[in-house]
A and B are shown apart, each in its own frame.
Chain A
Amino acid sequence: MAEWPASPSVIGKRIPRLDGLLKASGKAKYPSDVHPKGLLFGAMLYSPHAHAKVKSIDTKTAEKLPGVKAVLVIAGPGTTLRYHGDDIAAVAAETEEQARDAIRAIKIEYDVLPHVVTEAQSMAEGAPEVFKGGNVKKGRGQTKGKPEDAMASAAATIEATYTVPMITHVCLETHGLTVGLEGEKKATAWASTQNVYGIAGDLAQALELDRGDVTVYTEFMGGGFGSKFNADVWGTTAAKLSKMAGGRPVKMFLDREQEHCAAGNRPSATAHIKMGADREGKIVSVIAEGHSTGGVGNGTNMILPYVYRGVPHYSVGQANALTNRGGSRAMRAPNHPQSCILTEAAVDDLAEKLGMDPLEFRLKNLDPGSPMTPIYQAEIPIGAELIGWREKRKPRGKTGTGPIRTGLGMALHTWGGGGNPGKQVSCTIHPDGSVDIKTATQDIGTGARTILAMIAAEILGLQPTEINSLIGNSSYPPGQPSGGSTTTPTMAPPCYDAVTKARDALFKKVASAFNNARPEDLSLKQGQLWAGGEPVASWKEACRKLGTSPISVTGEFVDGLSSTGVGGCQFAEVSVDLETGEVKVKKIVAIQDSGLILDLLTWESQVYGGVIMGLNYGLFEEVVMDPTSGRMLNPDMEWYKLAGASDIPEIVVRAYSPPDEKGRQVIGVGEPPTISTAAAIGNAVSNAIGVRVTEWPMSPRNVLNALATASREGRA
């Protein structure tokens, strides 16, 4: 199947997304837009403290307020609250204002406990414990060869501590759902989720129903980025409130503050790294000791060294420092952006120490055992050409004499993104010629809905607009949760399987009606049925021969239509004001492979989006905690900084897509292009200003501190 499609009519073209007009006209109904009859508004009460015990909670006044229909205590007396934003109670009322008034009327007495919200607080001797058993959890350590001996014999070494802070997903539509009950045995929900199939299970459990009794819709959703896989406390709470209110539907979406504090984060990462190379520029040893925090959840699982896995000797130790912050969740390429920053900063510094061009140094150190190596070798020269590496790049610190300096940097990344068996897609061909594709997956903005229609259209010789691509409904055949860049590679094979089988069944049923043709003589292209090289009927005429019986086939995963493993490289050009520390990104070049590209238009959108999310990580984003109060200081969109249009540089995106890449078939692209942007920006900043900025983001504060430290130490 490696050559599918042999002569594509749709696949690989630029096809506008099928639901684009609904989105551009305001008609698309997001889960937070639905307004079923009898709707009540839910609101959450959450902890203002980083660490506290609920002494007492009194909901009597709240219950009596006008419009209040149900009040539910989540954290009763004696419950420990472990972070600013932790769930305490919830209310459902006739209006949003009434629900919020009722939340304010709930009286709570707290025993405020000492907290740890920074890594330093968490790891300090005698620190208050987030959970019983200590804050610091040793993570996966790895040793290969004899790193200490190899380091001692290295011709050049560097040693530094690099760090990147915790960030949050900031989905523009906050987490939540609307859920209602009809009678004892039926529930309907509209959830902003990446996992429409799984949410039905979560809600069924909360309501003590069977999975099939709950139908969840996710026609559209306003961003997830890895944080929206479960119904969560607020979702199951909404279901319980609905039950308490006689089944009336309850809309429960978080406010922006709780969204920041409680609905997930990408953990921080800090690593002290020693790296050594021989005279020829081969990295011989890496010794790294890292720690991170994911609040009450997992820290970063650092992959060190990242990409350059052929390093003969290394040892890596890492620890998760629990803190009184909301728990981490997967965020677009979990663990990779942090690992990329930590490794690529050290690699850049070591190239500098050796006096080598960091591009040549990277090429020299690619892992000879990795299937990604030939891909990097092909991509790097393309990216270098597009950014003007040869003409523009100057050695670190030799970038001029004025206050504004420009610099170039680069970084490499890798990701899996393969498909998994076990999910299904159904295809129904109706006698009127309409075609339904159904599966319980969802389109989180990637274009998944359009991709399924394109695959069906390719096989049936139709246009994607002629296919009903029906997703976002938990009662459809089990579909893939949108995570790990696996949606398209997981859903494409069963879609292919269902549609080809449905087509073959159609051929079998109608062949005799066309001059007694044999099924194997029939084919479909350009909206026509062909027999032996001649068009014999339009698609609709052919389908009409089905009479009253549609064809319906459920497809399973088939091998050979998807694979895993991509490599990419990114380059950044920046200018830095040495006096203000302000960094402006001027240009980003992103070269990305991802097997067979299905829709070039939405593929490019994914890469642009990944780059811009990486630019945010590189320049702006940071959860700021107050060590004294234990509260998040920027749980909003004013002080939690995100790029606006004026921060966007020229972005050049190139697909690395030679014929052998196409032969690798479908691989996801949602995550890879966001991994290396922040690392490339940091490296470009260091190139521009002559000193390493060891702390991300490249904010004025971090840049000026790096300059001041270097100056104090006589390095600049």
Chain B
Amino acid sequence: MPDPHELKINGKAVRVEVDRDRMLLGVLREDLGLTGTKYGCGEGRCGACTVLIDGQPARSCRTKIGAVGSREVTTIEGLSTGGVLHPLQRAFLEADALQCGYCTSGMIVAASALLRRNPDPSREEIVEFLDGNICRCGTYQRIIRAIRVAAELRKEAAR
């Protein structure tokens, strides 16, 4: 049975009336039109559906809406603020760290959590953090590079 949920999505309070057992992914995509977050496997194994919940990467295809509560959900749409791109988005473009682009949202969202936690991650730390995100086009080499570039961009911006 649908019941009301007060969510916090990309900094905004959002009220939805949905069954508490529905997955966050479906609510984001179908009810709220936030389709940057993708369905890949439906079992939390590919990472295409990655969002942040209170800054932690989470698999939205396996997260029930009733379990989200009022915690802060951040999707790819919430990463660029006021029309300003997140450094990761710029770096992914310039390094061509995407091909079909379907895994890209999940990759960037996961990487943003890493950079928040560790502003200057080593290659090994990037690899470890992103190991659960699958890219079938095979762009890993450039994804790792783009995250390094983004870290540098952020450092420059902070100077």
Contacts and interface: CB of A to CB of B under 8 A. Distances in A.
A626 interface: no
Interface in A19-39: 19-21, 23-30, 32-33, 35
A423 B141 CA distance: 35
Main secondary structure of the interface of B (DSSP, over half): loop
A642 B136 contact: yes
B133 interface: yes
A475 to B, nearest CB: 23
A203 interface: no
A97 interface: yes
Contacts of B35: 26, 29-30, 33, 35
Contact of A23 (B39, B46, B48, B104): B104
Contacts of B80: 25
Contact of A648 (B29, B37, B46, B140): B140
A601 B138 contact: no
Interface string B75-101: 111011000010011001110101111
Interface stretch (A84-92, A410-418, A605-613, A699-707): A605-613
A16 B96 contact: yes
Contacts of B128: 646
A645 interface: yes
A645 B131 contact: yes
Interface string A141-173: 000000000000000000000000000001111
Interface in A25-72: 25-30, 32-33, 35
A256 B41 contact: yes
A25 B77 contact: yes
B103 interface: yes
Interface in B129-145: 130-144
Given A21-B85, A96-B26, A645 B36 contact: no
Nearest to A613: B138
Contacts of A642: 134, 136
A632 to B, nearest CB: 15
A24 B102 CA distance: 9
Interface string A578-602: 0000000000000000000000011
B41 to A, nearest CB: 4
A221 interface: yes
A97 B19 contact: yes
Nearest to B91: A24
Contact of A643 (B41, B48, B140, B144): B140
A638 interface: yes
A645 B144 contact: yes
Given A170-B136, A172-B48, A445-B101, A256 B36 contact: no
Contacts of B39: 32, 174, 253
B75 A26 contact: yes
B136 A608 contact: no
A26 B77 contact: yes
B144 to A, nearest CB: 6
A609 B143 CA distance: 12
A306 to B, nearest CB: 23
Contacts of B89: 21, 24-25
Contact of B108 (A16, A24, A444, A651): A24
B42 interface: yes
Given A96-B26, A609-B138, A644-B134, A172 B96 contact: no
B63 to A, nearest CB: 16
B5 interface: no
Contacts of A612: 138-141
A253 B102 CA distance: 15
A171 B99 CA distance: 12
Interface residues of B, number: 58
A108 interface: no
A24 B93 contact: yes
A609 B94 contact: no
B20 to A, nearest CB: 13
Interface in B1-42: 19, 22, 26, 29-30, 33-42
Contacts of B40: 172-173, 256, 637
Contacts of A174: 39
Given A172-B46, A220-B101, A256-B42, A21 B33 contact: no
Interface string B118-159: 000000001110111111111111111000000000000000
Given A26-B36, A97-B19, A20 B93 contact: yes
A297 interface: no
B43 A30 contact: no
B42 A255 contact: yes
A608 B75 contact: no
A223 B142 contact: no
B116 interface: no
Contacts of A35: 30, 33, 35
B117 interface: no
Given A609-B138, A642-B136, A223 B36 contact: no
Contact of A172 (B34, B36, B75, B136): B136
A570 interface: no
Nearest to B40: A172
B22 to A, nearest CB: 7
B45 to A, nearest CB: 4
A175 interface: no
A645 B141 CA distance: 8
A638 B45 contact: yes
B43 A608 contact: no
Contact of A645 (B101, B105, B127): B127
Residue of A20, A29, A601 most packed against chain B (CB within 10 A): A20
A26 B135 CA distance: 16
A401 B41 CA distance: 43
B138 to A, nearest CB: 3
A651 B141 contact: yes
B136 A646 contact: no
Contact of B99 (A32, A255, A446, A638): A446
B115 to A, nearest CB: 15
Contacts of A25: 36, 76-77, 79-80, 85, 89
A288 B40 CA distance: 40
A222 interface: yes
Residue of B42, B136, B141 most packed against chain A (CB within 10 A): B136
Given A172-B46, A445-B98, 18 more contacts: A17-B98, A20-B96, A23-B101, A24-B108, A35-B33, A172-B103, A172-B135, A173-B38, A173-B40, A174-B39, A220-B101, A256-B43, A445-B99, A644-B134, A645-B140, A645-B144, A646-B127, A648-B141
5 contacts: A24-B101, A30-B38, A172-B103, A645-B130, A651-B141
Interface of B: 19, 22, 26, 29-30, 33-43, 45-46, 48, 75-77, 79-80, 85, 88-89, 92-94, 96, 98-105, 108, 126-128, 130-144
